Structure 1
Amino acid sequence: MDHNAIPEIALEWHRSGARAALATVIETWGSAPRQAGSQLAISGAGEIMGSVSGGCVEGAVVAEALEALADGEPRILTYGVSDENAFSVGLACGGTIRILVEPVGAALPEDMLARIVAARAARAPMGYGVHLETWARRLIAREAMPERFRADKSGLEENGEFIALFNPPLRLLIVGAVHIAQALIPMARLAGYDPVLIDPRDAFASPARFPDTALRHDWPDEALAAEAPDARTAVVTLTHDSKLDDPAIIAALEAEVFYLGCLGSTRTHAKRLERLRAEGLDEARLARIHAPVGLTIGAKTPAEIAVSILAQITEVLRRG
């Protein structure tokens, strides 16, 4: 089973007759191992998949979930995690965590969960809202809460409604099969991105140099069009070759990508901007380019440059 496919697993258990409950973190303290929106699926047989606390309260949540399956009622659980228990799972201090438990079918409608699962399969963002006093529930399109979706931030609204976001996985499209890409791809995977490497030069973008990596040997603008980048996509160009980088940059600026970073010095970027202006790109679009790519941390080696790039991508994703 896919440990990230919690809604899918809960729906499968429910439809198989094993019954299922979903436990979702609705509030937590800053250093908690699992943030708001994290989920744990519990079957009627006590099977679990996922996590809501990294081990601090899972046992108690499972017991409460089995009771919820018995009575069909949702509930909100509040736990105080001691410093000692927090330290045992690698945290400096404890705090309070609140968890919503919903039996599938009895509380969380099966059709709502099925629509969430279908949206995830189609890489379509979907939100699920539940009012914690009235238990009114709704599904939410990205257009209704664009900033919350962009920041991938599940959490409470001022009116007492909890919003759980089901965003498609983050993607990183890298143009240029260079040494930096060899370091950046495994780092990106660890950070939760699905990386795709684009380079028409077969000798550069080879399985030997990039094992277990999705490779596209198309021209970069064609590859980006095929990948259909969206607001959950970052693009990085690394070739130093304007014939390859520029078409990719133009294609990325025509899409909703949340990040576009381009390798090259300040002087190189100035020349790049001149070429892009000549192609008709306006200043508002050009201002979206992060160049020279990466945070200014004094990076020298390919691996250090990859760290600076991923750090900047993370900063843009989380801070805007």
Structure 2
Amino acid sequence: MVRWGSCLVGAVVIAIIVADLYFFHVAFVPAKKDFLERPLPLKPGTALYHQRLWYHDTPKQHWTMESASGHYRLDASYIPAAHSNKAVLICHGYMQNKNDMGAYAAMFHQLGYNVLLPDARGMGDSQGKYVGFGWPERYDERKWMKRLVHHLGPHVKIVMFGVSMGGATTMMTSGIQLPKQCVAMIEDCGYTSVKAEITHEAKDMYHMPVVPRWPLIPVLSLMVKLRIGYFMGEASSIRMLYHNHRPMLFIHGARDTFVPTWMVYQNYQADRGPKELWICPDANHAHSYRTHPKEYEYHVRQFLNRYVR
């Protein structure tokens, strides 16, 4: 009886490890993900077509740098704006790349901003073994800010902007020491923490009840610690926002189920700087700009006019 019990426990442990290896690969290893929405084709009549066409046709400078950890070469595109001392650092979403942010680049450039669009670790043309979900990348973003200061001079005013994982990266970056030239931040549909987002997806995508989530999520977090360097609960937007004192605009779609809309209220409440919140009506995850483009541009423009002078 004892032997059968030991075998059962061993089988359960093996099953948990095998399941977590699968989930780790699905969530943290860069690869094509079937559960993600495909990029919009660049065709007339599609959402934000003119903005995306402008980005496609606009000449770009190619920038590279070493990651903050020193392990990877990171890639970025830079679009200068004539006679401007303002710059925006744009962070893309999960398993996207800099070119997926073309419509946002067009919006900011039209507002008079030099635009820097990096590829996060393991995505686009940047090197990297794992997806960091914004936590290790926050130090990369700080290095990109310093690169902008070096390129544009000490009087540059930098805005950081991100969507989805990029929004979380923006919030996570807000809590570390940054160049004084970083004066404001805008996040669109970022999650409260990596643990909260992974737990939500385990429930939403796999319909996983509480009991399997309980051993699987902690073991998965341990795997993340061993391979990427942090426990999932550490990678918290909320925790970093407690240390932020820069102006922050929070944007979230009212119908977002991938990063559920309730998360933005927790993020907003945690922030310690001047802040604004806009819930975009009828918008799904990362669709606020395409759903209500004029209103989106209005809220971004008003926020920037207020805090970036």
TM-score (norm 2): 0.31
Relative to its length, the structure with more strand (as a share) is: 1
Whose relative contact order is higher, 1 or 2, with alpha carbons under 8 Å and at least 6 apart? 2
